[in-house]
Structure 1
Amino acid sequence: MSDNEENYDVVVVGSGGGGLIGGYIAASRGLRTLVIEKTDQVGGTTSYSGSGLWFPGSAPTRRAGIDDSDLESARQYMRKAVDDPAREELQDAYLSAGIALIDELEQNTWFQTFEHQPVPDYLEHLEGATPHGRSIFPPPIAVNEVGDKASIVRKSIYTERYGHTEDEMFVGGRALIARALSAFLATGNGVLKLNTALTGLVVDGDRIVGVEALSEGEPVRLRAGRGVLLAAGGFEHNAELRAKYGTLPSNAEWSDGVDSNVGDALVAGIAVGAETDLMDEAWYVPGTVQPDGKPVFQTGIRGGIWVNGAGERFVNELRPYDQAGHVIRDGEREAEGSHAPAYWVFDHKAFERDGFGGKGPDVPVSAEWFESGALKKADSLEELAELIGVPPAALVDSVKTFNGYVEGGVDEEFHRGESAWDQMFQFIVGYPALPEQNFVVPLPAEGPNPLLTATDTPPYYAATILLSDIGTKGGLKTDASARVLRADGQPIRGLYATGNTMAAMSGPVYLGAGTPIGSSLAFAYRAALHLADDTE
Structure 2
Amino acid sequence: MEMTRRGFVGGAALASIGALSATMLAGCSQESDASEPLAESGADAAAWDREADFIVVGGGGAGIAAAIGAANAGASVLVLEKAPEKHAGGATSVVAGIVNMWSEDKNPASNWVQYRTMGYKSAERGQKWGENLPDLLDILEDHGMGWETGSRPESGPGNIADHGPALYAALMDAMNEAGAEIVYESPVTKIVTNSETGEAIGVYADQNGSQVAIKANKGVLVSTGSYASNPELINSIHLPGFEYFSEDSPYNTGDAFQLLAGDLGAATMGFRDIEYDTPAIKLASKEVGTSVGLAKAFAVPSYLYVNGAGSRFMPEDLAIMHNKDVAFPWLAHSRRNPDANEDGFEVAMENYVNKTSFIVLDQACFDAGSLGNTNWTWSWSHFKDEGDSGYLWSEDNQAELAKGWILQGNTIEELAQQMGVDPTALSATVANYNQMASAGEDTELGRAAEAMQPLGDGPYYAIELGVSVLFTTAGIRSDDQDRVVKWDLTPIERLYVTGNAGMNMFVSPGVLTVLAAGYTIGQDVASLDAIQA
TM-score by structure 2 length? 0.73
- 1:313 maps to 312
**Mapped partners of 2:82, 2:109: distance in 1:** 38
Partner of 2:339: none
Please provide the CA RMSD for this pair: 3.3
CA contact (8 A) 2:205 2:213 kept: yes
**Counterpart position of 1:21:** 65
Higher Cα Rg: structure 1 or 2?
2
Question: Secondary structure of the residue that 1:219 maps to in structure 2?
Answer: strand
> In structure 2, what is the Cα distance between the partners aligned to 1:307 and 1:116?
40
Closer/same/farther in 2, CA of residues 332 and 292 from structure 1, 3 Å limit: same
Structure 2: 5+ residue runs without aligned partners? 1-44, 336-347, 376-392
Deviation by residue 1:276-330 (Cα, 9 ceiling, x = unmatched): 1234642222212244635423462313121122222222333132449951452
Aligned residues: 435
- For the 8 Å contact 1:482–1:524, the answer to whether it is kept is no
Q: Is the 8 A contact 1:44 1:258 kept in 2?
A: yes
Query: What whole-Å deviation, never above 9, does each CA across 1:336-375 have from its counterpart, x for those lacking one?
Result: 35222321111111111124344489944334x2344321
In structure 1, give the amino acid aligned to 2:308.
Answer: G
1:484 and 1:299 mapped to 2: Cα distance? 39
Distance 1:248 1:91 in 2: 34
Q: Work out the percentage of aligned pairs sharing the same amino acid.
A: 25
Q: Secondary structure at the match of 1:524?
A: helix
Shift of 1:202: 0.8
Kept in 2, the 8 Å contact 1:480–1:526? The answer is no
Paired AA for residue 61 in structure 2: G
CA distance change for structure 1 residues 176 and 355 in 2, over 3 Å: closer, same or farther?
A: closer
Higher mean alpha-carbon deviation, 330-339 vs 103-112, is at 330-339
- Which of the numbers 198, 209, 212 marks the counterpart of 1:217? 209
Hey, what's the Cα distance between the residues in 1 that align with 2:311 and 2:125? 41
Query: Hey, what's the Cα distance between the residues in 1 that align with 2:468 and 2:515?
Result: 23
DSSP-derived class of the 1:530 partner: helix
Aligned AA (1:403): N
Distance 1:53 1:217, change over 3 A: farther
Q: Using a 3 Å threshold, how does the CA distance of structure 1 residues 363 and 281 change in structure 2: closer, same or farther?
A: closer
Match of 1:192 in 2: 182
Structure 1 counterpart of 2:170, from 179, 183, 206: 179
> Residue 57 of structure 1 is aligned with which of 93, 103, 108?
103
8 Å CA contact 2:48, 2:215 repeated in 1:
no
Q: How does 1:390-401 map to 2 (within 5 A)?
A: 390-401=421-432
Q: Secondary structure at the match of 2:189?
A: strand
1:249/1:526 Cα in 2 relative to 1: closer, same or farther (>3 Å)? Answer: farther
Which residue of 2 is the match for residue 327 of structure 1? 328
Matching residue of 1:64: none
Residue 251 of structure 1 and its aligned partner are, at CA, apart by: 4.0
Question: What SS class does the counterpart of residue 107 from structure 1 fall into?
Answer: helix
User: Do 1:247 and 1:280's aligned partners in 2 also have CA atoms closer than 8 Å?
Assistant: no
Amino acid at match of 2:292: V
Partner of 2:401: 370
Query: Aligned-pair distance for 1:385?
Result: 1.9
- Residue 245 of structure 1 contacts residue 280 of structure 1 at CA under 8 Å; is this kept in 2? no
Which residue type is aligned with residue 96 of structure 1?
Q
SS in 1 for 2:118: helix
Contact 2:111 2:126 in 1 (8 A): no
Alpha-carbon shift at residue 409 of structure 1 (Å):
3.6
Give yes or no for contact 2:276–2:320 (8 Å, CA) kept in 1: no
1:301 matched residue in structure 2: 297
CA distance in 2, matches of 1:283, 1:456: 35
Matches within 5 A, 1:122-201: 134-139=156-161, 171-188=162-179, 190-201=180-191
1:228-377 equivalences in 2 (<5 Å): 228-246=220-238, 251=243, 254-270=245-261, 271-279=263-271, 281-285=273-277, 286-291=279-284, 293-294=286-287, 295-298=291-294, 300-302=296-298, 303=301, 304-318=303-317, 319-323=319-323, 327-331=328-332, 335=348, 336=351, 338-359=353-374, 363-367=395-399, 369-377=400-408
- Residue of structure 1 equivalent to 2:415: 384
What's 2:488 paired with? Answer: 488
| One-letter amino acid of the counterpart of residue 327, structure 1 | F
Asked if 1:35 corresponds to 2:79, the answer is yes
Q: Give the equivalent residue in structure 2 for 1:10.
A: 54
Distance 1:72 1:313, change over 3 A: farther
Deviation at 1:55, TM superposition (A): 4.1
Find the residue that maps to 1:395 and give its secondary structure. Answer: helix
| Counterpart for residue 525 of structure 2 | 531
Native 8 Å contact 2:362 2:461 kept in 1: yes
**How many angstroms apart in 2 are the aligned matches of 1:331 and 1:69?**
36
Per the alignment, in what secondary structure is the counterpart of residue 468 of structure 1?
strand
Q: 1:239 to 1:350 in 2, by over 3 A?
A: closer
Letter aligned with residue 105 of structure 1: L
CA contact (8 A) 2:247 2:471 kept: yes
Q: TM-score, normalised by structure 1?
A: 0.72
SS at match of 1:57: coil
Give the aligned partner of residue 90 of structure 2: 44
1:375–1:71 CA distance, 2 compared to 1 (3 A): same
Alignment-mate amino acid for residue 369 of structure 2: D
Matched, 1:100 2:122: no
User: Paired residue for 1:147?
Assistant: none
Does residue 1:208 correspond to 2:200, yes or no? yes
Matched-pair contact (CA < 8 Å) for 1:68–1:74: no
**Residues 74, 53 of structure 1: alpha-carbon distance in 2 compared, 3 angstrom cutoff:** same
Amino acid at match of 2:297: I
Equivalent-residue separation in structure 2 for 1:479 and 1:316 (angstroms): 41
User: Structure 2 CA distance, aligned partners of 1:93 and 1:317?
Assistant: 42
Sort the Cα spacing of 1:362 and 1:502 in 2 relative to 1 into closer, same or farther, 3 A. Answer: closer
Q: Which amino acid aligns with 1:342?
A: S
Give distance in 2, aligned partners of 1:501 and 1:466. Answer: 25
Structure 2: which amino acid aligns with 1:31? A
The residue type paired with residue 50 of structure 1 is A
Counterpart contact for 1:249–1:467, Cα < 8 Å: no
Q: Which of 219, 227, 231 is the matching residue for 1:227?
A: 219
